Amino acid sequence: MTISDTEPHAAERPRAAVRPPRPSSKPNGQWKIDGKAPLNGNEEWKQVDDGLSVRERIENVYSKGGFHSIDPTDLHGRFRVWGLYTQRKPGIDGGRTATLTPEELEDEYFMFRVRIDGGQLTTEQLRVIGGISTEFARGTADITDRQNIQLHWIRVEDVPEIWRRLEAVGLRTTEACGDVPRVILGSPVAGIAADELLDPTPQIEEISRRFIGDPTLSNLPRKFKTAITGHPSQDVVHEINDVAFVAVEHPELGVGYDLWVGGALSTTPRLGERLGTFVRPDQVVDAWHGVTQIFRDYGYRRLRNKARLKFLLAEWGTEKFRQVLQDEYLGYELADGPAARKPATPGDHVGVHKQKDGRFYVGVTPIVGRVSGPTLTRLAEIAEAHGSARLRTTPHQKIVILDVPEEHVEPLIAELDELGLQARPSLIRRGTIACTGIEFCKLAIVETKVNATAAVLDLEERLKGFELPHPISLHVNGCPNSCARIQTADIGLKGQLVTIDGEQVPGYQVHLGGGLASQDRDEPGLGRTVRGLKVAADGIADYVERVVTRFLADRDAAADETFAQWAHRAEEEALQ
């Protein structure tokens, strides 16, 4: 499974490169246009019995009968709506990923995703997750780049007890996966940052309370991703979500939100677009519901690879989308509004920062989001010992501990550092994220977490004598689907089989110079690819050292040139 080397550079690729399905005599499965007759197997089972219904069977049938008692449609479809995917069977190499069926690839264990809207956790909740990991998941735990926590090695027999423990402390897995409204990304410093424009927590909580688990929204054409932030760092990767609200100050109407729609990456990336509206805080929930219903009613359902909201936006454009939202779903017009200002601070919140109440929040970096049950339990204990009962996960695979009294900041940092959670990490550790990879994912072709961790540790030594002007984001993905956002990284590595010295080996195609809203970029943009540029799975550190060294030698320091700027102007020879 390889990707063409003739893909155009991002700078040459128009925003509307994502196109709707070509006109055809076949309907596209848009409910309001074509009717609700299911046009593929996925649409059929969702109409017969949607994913919300399977919980009762898990609790009363499958947990008692074991893995082999599970109906195949439930196993490969409806289970996802409750955060359950079968994980990859150990020992199957990446070259067989595309040749085996899901049934041949899967183990009798599950990946289990805990939904954490806004990334908001208490230490009590964290302790429960840590305990579940230790007791039921062989100690596994990964912080995702969507603020969730994922566990592995879960048996269906244990799921009801795990749900009982999670729900006893206010956590759930409802609609953590599937063709549903996924977790709501929220600013990790909502309600506490001294420089916050607006606290989005009430809107996140109301959307979650009213609509997560709502059967009127549990059958969408595909996944639906949401992001809301009131922080000026724009810390929720809003440009790659289906719907996003970014705090902005209107010259006459005060502080509200700028509404974005239609962003998503995967194999056909498209950045979201502003509708040009100003959304008051009291209008956010209605606007979110309206956009979600547009997707439900007008989204394409015939072809799953054309079913994300970005394809509908490519057909309609922002003007029509806004008009339909207002006329058919809101019943009122939204005011015109300005774009948010360029972020002035990093959005990962790593380090020590003062809260509006005089206490501090401390952002720490686990390597590529990988932690463990014992680590999470110990983190809860350390936070409580230093006066904190709250923490947040971030869209950058980081953790933020809130409410730390000033005199506890340095002792907290010292203890967390011993736990492998660094508040003052190297710039390469800070900027590296990775997806699940071949260890557990049935779609993956290449290992990610282990390879990325080894590369970070190696590069910290190799680059020790260099003065990096800013964090270098290194995103490592095990397949082309871009769960680790490879097209929006300084260096994005897309897992595939590559040919090096005449031999086909696991490796990565390289994307360079991508990025989202930040203090280093005026505009978000996708990375470029270079013909023939591929890296072996064990060659990440060699390549990164080579290209970063060349960047430092060639960059225009007087103009404070960033890696992304250099990568887009550099000759291909310099990027090899």
Q: Which helix (H) or strand (E) holds 316?
A: helix 309-324
Which has the closest alpha carbon to 259: 295, 237, 291? 291
Q: If pLDDT is split at 50, 70 and 90, which confidence band does 531 have? A: confident
Question: What value does the CA radius of gyration of the chain take, rounded to a whole number of Å?
Answer: 23
CB 245 within 8 A of CB 284: yes
Q: Is the pLDDT of residue 474 over 80?
A: yes
Give the whole-angstrom CA distance, residue 186 versus residue 13.
Answer: 30
pLDDT tens, position by position, 74-83? 999 999 999 9
**Whose CA is closest to 288, among 338, 337, 226, 221?**
226
187-196 tens-digit pLDDT: 999 999 999 9
Domain definitions of the chain by residue range:
430-574
* Token reading at 471: 């964090």
Read off the pLDDT of each residue in 505-522 and give the average, rounded to a whole number: 94
Which one-letter DSSP state was computed for residue 9? P
Write down the pLDDT at residue 277.
Answer: 98
Three-state SS letters, 27-75: CCCCHHHHCCCCCCHHHHHHHHCCHHHHHHHHHHHHHHHCHHHCCHHHH
Look at residue 19 in the predicted model and tell me its pLDDT.
77
Average pLDDT, the chain: 95
Compute, in degrees rounded to 10, the torsion defined by CA atoms 446, 433, 112, 507: 0
In DSSP terms, 509 is beta-bridged to: 494, 534
DSSP per-residue codes, 378-439: HHHHHHHHTT--EEEE-TTS-EEEEEE-GGGHHHHHHHHHHTT-BSS--HHHHTEEE---TT
Q: How many helices (H) and strands (E) does the chain have?
A: 17, 20
* Residue 18: per-residue pLDDT: 80
Give the pLDDT confidence score for residue 24 in this predicted structure. Answer: 64
CA-closest candidate to residue 314, choices 549, 112, 14: 14
Residue with tokens 């929720």: 236
Q: Are 226 and 185 in contact (CB under 8 A)?
A: yes
Of the candidates 525, 442, 518, which has an alpha carbon nearest to the alpha carbon of residue 240?
525
pLDDT the model gives residue 500: 86
Whether residue 11 contacts residue 515, with contact meaning beta carbons closer than 8 Å, is answered with no
- Could you tell me the pLDDT band of residue 343, with boundaries at 50, 70 and 90? very high
Residue 53 and residue 173: Cα distance in Å, rounded? 14
Cβ proximity of 279 and 318 under 8 Å = no
- Pull the structure tokens for residue 164: 């009982």
Q: Using the 8-state DSSP alphabet, how is residue 148 labeled?
A: -
Q: pLDDT tens digit string along 27-72? A: 999 999 999 999 999 999 999 999 999 999 999 999 999 999 999 9
Q: Which two tokens stand for residue 305?
A: 């690879």
Overall average pLDDT of the 433-454 stretch: 97
**Mean of the pLDDT values across residues 117-135?**
98
The amino acid at 324: V
* This prediction's pTM: 0.95
Please determine, for residue 1, whether its predicted confidence score (pLDDT) is greater than 90. no
What class is the 430-574 domain?
Answer: alpha beta
Type of residue found at 13: R
At 460, give phi and psi (nearest 5°): -60, -35
Is the pLDDT at 411 greater than 50, yes or no? yes
Residue 14 has pLDDT above 90, yes or no: no
Instruction: Evaluate whether 194 touches 349 at the Cβ level (below 8 Å).
Output: no
Task: Say what the pLDDT of residue 22 is.
Answer: 67
Burial tier of 467 (Cβ tally within 10 Å: 0-12, 13-18, 19+): exposed
| Residue 10: per-residue pLDDT | 34
Quick check: 277 and 318 in contact, CB under 8 A?
A: no
- The span from the first CA to the last CA of the chain, in angstroms, equals 22
Secondary structure letter of residue 471 according to DSSP: -
CA distance 391 to 372: 16
For residue 254, name the pLDDT band (cuts at 50, 70, 90).
very high
* Proportion of the chain above pLDDT 70, given as a percent: 97
- % pLDDT > 90, the chain: 92
Q: Which of 558, 478, 499, 489 is nearest to 529 (CA)?
A: 489
Q: Are 387 and 405 in contact (CB under 8 A)?
A: yes
* Other beta carbons less than 10 A from residue 458's beta carbon: 16
Q: String of b and e for 484-513 (b: at least 16 CB within 10 Å)?
A: bbbbbbbbbbbbbbbeeeeeebbbbbbbbb
8 Å CB contact between 45 and 52: no
Sheet holding 224-229, edge to edge: 181-186, 224-229, 243-250, 254-261, 273-279, 335-336
DSSP string of 250-311? ETTTEEEEEEEE--B-TTS-B--EEEEEEE-GGGHHHHHHHHHHHHHHHS--S-GGG-SHHH
Does the structure show a pLDDT above 50 at 106? yes
User: What's the pLDDT at 17?
Assistant: 61
E strands present in 123-198: 142-143, 149-154, 181-186
Backbone angles phi, psi at 15, to 5 degrees: -60, -35
